[in-house]
Each structure stands twice: as structure tokens, then as C-alpha cells.
Amino acid sequence: MLSQAISDALNKQVQIEGDSSQIYLAMASWAENQGFEGIATFMYAQSDEERMHMLKLIKYINQRGGEAIIPAVIKPELDHSSFKTLFTQLFEHEVFVSQSINELVHVSLQDRDYATHNFLQWYVAEQIEEEATARTILDKINLIGDDKGGLYLFDNDIKNFPSVQNTAI
């Protein structure tokens, strides 16, 4: 059975994962409207992945005798001034999610809930991957600079980025 502290912390993470899915969805829609087919494909896949992260938490909470709280959908507030700005926000958001997961791990250890601690290790590893992916993409964008040809190639290449093909849990 989950303690109230663990249940509250897990439900907070459910909200964060749901918000993450919405952020990626908003980015996908923007990219699609700008003609960035590859970026849109990448962002739609990431949105689906974040939703699966949320569902995994919901199922865990319910299996452990807690009550998962389904979060409200909140419209993301994003700066759409450029694709570089968009990916910078993506990276910053992934860092925020990592910090949240780390806090959740801390709460599970304080509460001596080793089952939840074990469950969360998947999220810890996932966030290492998410941050690395975002950092790699930003590095590529910085290399491109203002080169339109480079942007075209980047947009074409990102739809085949590894995380797009590894969206299953």
C-alpha cells in the first residue's frame, strides 16, 4: 500500500508527464504548420511516449492501492519564435522532469518504499536518455546555424532519430 506522501508525489509526476505530452503535442502541431515534417514526426512520437510514461505511473499507483488522479489538460505556453527556441525549451523541460523524478526517488527512500524506488529506476534511466537526446539535437541545431540547407537536412533526418523508433515501454 502506498503512503499518502508517495501517492501525492506519484500523482504530481502523473501531472508532469501529462503536461510533457501536451508540450510535445503543441510543438508537433507548430512544426507541422511550419512545414517541418520531420520535426513534427519526432514531436508526435515524443508526445505519445510521454503519455505512455503517464499511463505507466497511473497503473502503478492503482496496482499499489493508491488512487491515480487524472490531471486536467493545460495548454502549454511556448515560445514559437524559432525551431532552436523550441528545442531549447524542450531541453529545459526535460531537465525539469529529471529533477522531478529525482525528488520522487528521494521521497521514496525517505518513506522506505523500496518497491516504488525500484519502479522509479526505469524513469531515472529514461530521463538520462531524454536529456541526452535533447542535448544532441540542440548541438546539431547549433551546428546548422542559419543555414537553410542544413535545416532541411536536419528536418529530414530527425524523423528517423532513435527515440522515434523506441517509443514502446
Annotated binding site: 17, 50, 53, 94, 127
**Rounded distance between C-alpha atoms, residue 108 and residue 118, angstroms:** 9
- Angular region, 65: left φ>0, alpha ψ -120 to 50, beta rest: left
Instruction: Encode burial over 90-113: b for 16+ CB neighbours within 10 A, e otherwise.
Output: bbebbeebbebbeebbebbeebeb
**Rounded distance between C-alpha atoms, residue 69 and residue 66, angstroms:** 9
CA-to-CA separations, 79 to 62, 66, 87, 105, 124, in angstroms, rounded: 36, 37, 10, 31, 28
Residue ranges of the annotated binding site for Fe cation are: 17, 50, 53, 94, 127
- Burial category of 168 from C-beta neighbours within 10 Å (exposed 0-12, middle 13-18, buried 19 and up): exposed
